[in-house]
Structures are given as structure tokens and as C-alpha cells.
Structure 1
């Protein structure tokens, strides 16, 4: 049921966001050097590595680390990068990963391949057993502001409580958070 819902919702969202995505791609290309998409190696279900696309928001010389580990992340943003991140429009290409089965609409956000402490903590709690998501319980309860142990606790709570109703609640609360730009550090 969850996989069918993911496919249906991601196809509908892809149709809705096709023209805006094309326009954003032109803007990204016109305002900075490099490719339109940034492909990031992420950790998926079973701790398997997959490539996740985002609209590129950082300069091409940015170190490959979590944004919060950069000394001054704003210095690496492209001219439209801040807007894309704050609006979460940079996440639209991840609909591809949902259609391919690497991600779900709702689940823990996929860790970067080099976030070993997060990967280990999630594995210990069984979080690695489900598909990562475009949004999740931790995202609506703090997003980028959460310390890792708290994020993993919320991810683990989601694994234990997951249901269609909870997923719908998370999707609705995510939309509200994005509109309000709550919990965005970068």
C-alpha cells in the first residue's frame, strides 16, 4: 500500500512540478557554473548507497560534507541557492528516487554516505530497515536544528509507529513547515 501511494503521489507531483522544475533548471544554469543537478551519495534501506539528485544550490568547489559542518555555508551558496533551500524547491528531483524505489515520500531523511555516526546510530535502532523519505517525522519536529541523537530517536519512533494516517499527517505538516520556512538553518 505504501509503495503504491508513493508511486501515485510522486507521479502526480512530477506532473505538477515539471514546468517549475524546468524553469528552475534554467535559472540554476544561468546563475552559476556547473551542472543543474547535484547527485549526492546517500544511504538507503539496508544501508545501501544510492545517488540522490537535488537542484544544485552550492558552488561546485564546495566540500562534500553535511552543510552544518561547513565553517560558513552561506559563502558556498549559488546566487539562487539560498532561495531554493529555504523553499525546499531543490528537493523536487528526489521524486525520481521515489519512482525508482530508493526513497519513499515519508521516512527518515537519507544520510550522506560519510555520516558514519548517524548511520551507526540509525542501524542500532533499526531505522535502516525502511526506505528513507523526502520528508519525515524528524523534519516536522525540528528539521536541521536537531542534534543527531534526537533525530535518530524521532526516526526510530516513526519506524515503530508508521501508518498511512501518520504519513498523511507528516505530509500535511511538512507542507505547512515549508510554507512557514520553519527549522531551516542554511
Structure 2
């Protein structure tokens, strides 16, 4: 059951943290934007519809980390499109900074299950679908526990665990573990993949 005090406190903290970060990190955002334009060209931002709370879609905003698909040059898969620059951007999580705007708008939270692809909605079990009972997050329990190195089964189980046990204390612990994981660059990719294999049902 959703506890109103927790939700209200969390939303307030999200607004303060995300709003302050956007202001304080504006030089970093500008610098990364210029670097993306130089290394990958335009558009600088990656925009894609993702399911949020209750499965309602919103437009996720991130820095672009891949070259555009180009069949003529054989740039189709993530592995083919991800450059060394893009890998570094993802490893440091700097590509996620524009998503702070999604937090300010209320589409996302700082902490929550990561917003996945809309096409995955049809594949979730009834239990897995509960990951959409809360706002998706820039980071979450799964990201703090292994990121893309986790199997889909473990990742989704951790999402549900977060939904069931969420609290401000757990959010703070996840943020602390996320920072450590980013600094150590743990779990940036799944073995044998540039990011993660596609999800096509419980596994």
C-alpha cells in the first residue's frame, strides 16, 4: 500500500535534488552536450517514449551515446553503433543527466525501477508489472545491485523488491551504492552485449 507521507516527502526531495542538480551541473551539461555534438553529431539528445507510473508513457530524455542507425555503413546493432566515446559516456552515467528534467516534471524519480522499453509491457508477468506501481527512477535497486550485468529475472525481481520495501532509508542506500558502482564502473554492460539483450519474457 502506498504511504502518502513517504510519497510526499520523496517528491519534495526529488524536486529539490533534481532542480538543484540541473542548476549546479549546468556547466557539465553544456560540456557534455558539446562533446556529444562533436563526437556523434546532432541531435545531441536522445528522446524515446517509455512507460512510467501505471504504464503511462512519457518522453525520456538522455544524452545520445550511439551513432544513428545506418544500414549502408552496417550500423544497425547496439554493438555496431556504440563508439568508445559513447561507452565512456554510459560508464560514467553522464548520459543520464538530462533525465533530471524528467524528475522535475514528475515523470520520474531519482530512485525507482528503470524505465524500460514500451514493447516490454506485453511480456511482463502479473507480478513483474508491479514495477509500474511507482515512478521509474534514474537509478534503482537493480542498478545499485549489478546494473546491466544482472539477468533479466534478477533485475525484475529487484524492481519488485524495491516496490514492496521502498522507503527514504532504502532510497539513500541505493544512491550511495549507485555512486560507488559508477565510480568503479561496475555492470555497465551484460556479458557479450554492448548494453543488455532484449527482454522477451520471463527468464
TM-score by length of 1: 0.89
| 1:75 shift after superposition | 2.1
Contact 2:146–2:187 (Cα < 8 Å) also in 1 = yes
2:63 matched to 1:58?
no
Report the count of equivalent residues. Answer: 179
- Written as runs of structure 1 = structure 2, the 5 A alignment for 1:130-169 is 130-169=134-173
Match of 2:43 in 1: 35
Which runs of 5 or more residues in structure 1 are unaligned?
A: 64-69
Which runs of 5 or more residues in structure 2 are unaligned?
A: 1-8, 195-203
The correspondence for 1:5, drawn from 13, 29, 33, is 13
Match of 1:66 in 2: none
Give secondary structure in 2 for the equivalent of 1:111: coil
Contact 1:38–1:54 (Cα < 8 Å) also in 2 = yes
Note closer, same or farther for the CA distance 1:80–1:176 as it changes in structure 2 (3 Å cut).
Answer: same
Match of 1:176 in 2: 180
Give secondary structure in 2 for the equivalent of 1:115: helix
Coordinate RMSD, CA, aligned: 2.1
- Written as runs of structure 1 = structure 2, the 5 A alignment for 1:25-104 is 25-61=33-69, 73-78=78-83, 80-104=85-109
- Which has more radius of gyration? 2
Note closer, same or farther for the CA distance 1:122–1:137 as it changes in structure 2 (3 Å cut).
Answer: farther
CA distance in 1, matches of 2:126, 2:144: 18
Superimposed CA distance per residue, residues 21-57 of structure 1 (whole angstroms, 9 cap, x where no aligned partner): 1011111111223200010111100101111011101
TM-score by length of 2: 0.82
